[in-house]
Chains A and B, each alone.
Chain A
Amino acid sequence: MYKHTFQTKEKIIELIFGFCGMFSLFITLGIMGIIFWETTLFFKEVSLFEFMFSTQWTPLFSIKHFGVLPLITGTLLVAGIAMAIAMPTGVLMAIFMNEYANAKVRRILKPVLEILAGIPTIVYGYFALLSVTPFLQKVIPSLSGFNAISPGIVMGIMILPMVVSLSDDAFGAVPKEMKLAAYALGSSRFQVAFKIILPAAMSGVIAAFMLAISRAIGETMLVAIAAGMKPAFTLNPLVPIQTITSYIVQISLGDTPVGTLAYRSIFAVASVLFIITFIFNVIAQKLRHSLKY
C-alpha cells in the first residue's frame, strides 16, 4: 500500500516536470501555428508570385503592392553592414584575448564586453540616430537622416560581444597540445593564431557568425528608430530603408484593423523572417556540434 502511494507521487511529479519541459515546445509550436495560419490567409488574397518577385512594398497605399524584396534587401543590407564590422573585429578580438592578452587584460576586457552586451537596444537605436548619423553626415554630406549604414554600424557593435564570446569559446576548445606542437615547430604567435587556432576552430567561428547574423536579422528597435520606414528596393546604404522587423513594428503600432490584408501581411513577412533565422540557426547548431577533436 505504501509502495503504491509512493509510485503515484512519482507519476504526478514526472507529469509536472514533463509538462514544464514540453511548455517551451508548445509555445513555439503555437506561435508557428498562428503565424503560418495567418500567412495562408494572406496568400489567399495575394499571389505568392507577386510576394516573391514584385519590387514594391506598399500595403498601406491605395494602390497596394506586396513585393517582399525591398524588405528583404533592407534587412540584409543592415545585417550585412553589421556583419562586415562584427566579423573581423570580433574574431581578431577573440584571438587577442586568447593568444595575446595576459590574464590581467582578459579580466578587464571580458566584463566590458558583457556590459556592451547588456545595453538595451533602444539605447543603441538612439545612439545610431542622434550620434552616429550626424557624425557620418559630416563625412558624407548626401547621407539622409534615416539610412542603413548608421544602424548597420551600431548593430555591428551590438552583436560584437556575441561574436567575440562565441569565437572565444571555440578558440578555447582547441587543445593546448596542438598549440604547443605548433610552437615547438618554430611558429610565431601570429602563425599559431592564424594557421592553427583559427582553422582548428573554424566551424565554431562560423557558427558564431551564423548566430550573429540571425540576431542581426531579427533586431528590431535599432532599425525601427534609425533606418527609416520607407521600403526601398536598393542596396544603397545612404537612403532610408525598411527592414522586415521595422515593418512589423509599424503595422502593430499603427491603427491597422485586425483581419485586414495589411494586418495579415505582417504574418507573411514574419514567416519569411522565421524561415531565414531558422536556416541560420540550424547551420550554426550543426557546425557547433561538429566541433570535436
Chain B
Amino acid sequence: MIVKIVNKGHYTLWRLRRSHMNALRCVHALTILGNKNRYYMEKHIFEIKNLNIYYHDFQAVKNVSVAIPSYVITAIIGPSGCGKSSFLRSMNRMNDLIPNAKLTGEILFHGVNIYDPLISEVNLRRRVGMVFQKPNPFPFSIFANVAYGLKIQNIKDKAMIAERVEESLKRAFLWDEVKDRLKKPALELSGGQQQRLCIARALAVYPDTLLLDEPCSSLDPLATAKIEELLQKLKKEVNIIIVTHNLQQAKRISEYVGFFNSGELVDFGPTKEIFERSAQSMVGRYIQGIFG
C-alpha cells in the first residue's frame, strides 16, 4: 500500500513522512503521560530483529535479535571491538554518519521501524539522545550548550528556554555547581561536570531514550559515582541503555544486561541472572575475568 502512495509523487511522500513522524510523536506523548502508571505501557522500548551491521567487508554486529525493556537501565557489556558501540549507535542512526556502514534488519522503536525510508533520522535523534565516551560540550557557554537542542527545534520563547535549561541542569545534578556561571564557557568545567553537562544537554529536548557510550571511561571514581547516582534517578523518567567496560558498574546500576562477543549477542537477561552464570559459560568466564 505504501508503494502505491509513494508513486503519487513527492508531496504525498512528504505528507506521509510527516504523518509517520507524528505517529511516532503520539507514541512518545503516550510514554510521557504514562510515566505515573507505566505498568500499563508497552513493555519494550526497542525491538531489534535480525540486525546486521557491516563496515566495508567487516561485519561488526551479527544477526542480533533482542527486545530492550522500557524504564530500566540496560547495560551492554563485552570485550573491546565486540560490536557493542555499533549496536548502540544503530539505535539512533548515528551509524548513518559513518561512510560505508551498511545495516540490515529491523529496529522497532515503539513499534515503528526507524530504518524505514520514511523516517527522518533527525527527528528520531531528538527522541533518542546520546552521550559519548569523551565529554564533548560545544565551545559555547554552559547555558548555550543546554539550550542548543531547543534552539535547533526553532523554539524561540526565551523564558521557556531558560526554564528548560534550569530544569535539565537540575535533572543532571549540575545546577548547584553552575548556576552562578551559566554564561561561562562550558570548556572551563571539569571532566565530570562536562559529562553531566552533556547529559543535561541531551535531557533538555525531552528524549524518550538516552544512549550512553561508556560515559564514565574518562572520569575519576568520584565523578563516576555521581553519574551513576544520576542515572539511577533518571531511569524513572527516560529509558537508559549504557555501554560499559566496567563490569562492576553494570552490576551496580543495571536491571538488564546484554553480553556481546565478536558481534554476537551471546546473552541477554536480568542483571542478577547474568552475573550468576557459571564459569562454564562464556559470559561467566568474561565476568569472572578469565578472558576479555
Q: Is the CB of B138 within 8 A of A200?
A: yes
CB contacts (< 8 Å) of A191 on chain B: these are 152
Q: Does A17 contact B (CB under 8 A)?
A: no
Q: Is the CB of A199 within 8 A of B149?
A: no
**Cross-interface CB contact of A177 among B99, B136, B152, B153, cutoff 8 Å:** B136
Q: Does A186 contact B (CB under 8 A)?
A: yes
Q: Is the CB of B132 within 8 A of A185?
A: no
Min Cβ gap A187→B in Å is: 5
Q: Is the CB of A199 within 8 A of B140?
A: yes
Q: Is the CB of B149 within 8 A of A185?
A: yes
Q: Is the CB of B152 within 8 A of A186?
A: yes
Q: Is the CB of A181 within 8 A of B136?
A: yes
CB contacts (< 8 Å) of A187 on chain B: these are 122, 152
Specify the chain B residue showing the minimal Cβ separation from A184: B130
Min Cβ gap A170→B in Å is: 13
Give the interface size class of chain A: 20 to 34
CB contacts (< 8 Å) of A293 on chain B: these are 139, 187
CB contacts (< 8 Å) of B139 on chain A: these are 178, 199-200, 293
Q: Does B53 contact A (CB under 8 A)?
A: no
Q: Is the CB of B202 within 8 A of A185?
A: yes
Give the interface size class of chain B: 20 to 34
Given A187-B152, A191-B152, A195-B148, CB of A182 within 8 Å of CB of B138? yes
Given A177-B134, A180-B132, CB of A185 within 8 Å of CB of B126? yes
**Cross-interface CB contact of B205 among A178, A186, A200, cutoff 8 Å:** A186
Q: Is the CB of A184 within 8 A of B138?
A: no
Given A185-B129, A185-B202, CB of A180 within 8 Å of CB of B187? no
Q: Does B26 contact A (CB under 8 A)?
A: no
Q: What CA separation (Å) do A196 and B148 show in the bound complex?
A: 10
Q: Is the CB of A177 within 8 A of B132?
A: yes
Q: Which residues of B from 77 to 129 have beta carbons under 8 Å from A? A: 92, 94, 97, 99, 122-126, 129
Most buried by A among B94, B124, B132, B152: B152
Q: Is the CB of B125 within 8 A of A186?
A: yes
Q: What CA separation (Å) do A177 and B132 show in the bound complex?
A: 8
Q: Does B198 contact A (CB under 8 A)?
A: yes
**Cross-interface CB contact of A178 among B123, B138, B151, cutoff 8 Å:** B138
Q: What CA separation (Å) do A146 and B16 show in the bound complex?
A: 58
CB contacts (< 8 Å) of A188 on chain B: these are 122, 152
CB contacts (< 8 Å) of A199 on chain B: these are 139-140
Q: Does B201 contact A (CB under 8 A)?
A: yes
Min Cβ gap A172→B in Å is: 15
Q: What CA separation (Å) do A185 and B206 show in the bound complex?
A: 11
Q: Is the CB of A185 within 8 A of B94?
A: no
Q: Is the CB of A180 within 8 A of B125?
A: no
Specify the chain B residue showing the minimal Cβ separation from A202: B139
CB contacts (< 8 Å) of A175 on chain B: these are 136
Q: What CA separation (Å) do A103 and B140 show in the bound complex?
A: 30
Q: Does A183 contact B (CB under 8 A)?
A: yes
Known pairs A180-B97, A185-B205. 13 more at Cβ < 8 A?
A103-B99, A177-B134, A178-B138, A180-B94, A181-B137, A184-B94, A186-B152, A186-B153, A187-B122, A188-B152, A191-B152, A200-B138, A293-B187
Binding site for A on B (CB under 8 A): 92, 94, 97, 99, 122-126, 129-130, 132, 134, 136-140, 148-149, 151-153, 187, 198, 201-202, 205
User: What are 26 A-B interface contacts by the 8 Å CB criterion?
Assistant: A175-B136, A177-B132, A178-B136, A178-B138, A178-B139, A180-B132, A180-B136, A181-B138, A181-B198, A182-B138, A183-B94, A185-B125, A185-B126, A185-B152, A185-B201, A186-B122, A186-B123, A186-B124, A186-B149, A186-B153, A187-B122, A188-B122, A188-B152, A195-B148, A196-B138, A200-B139
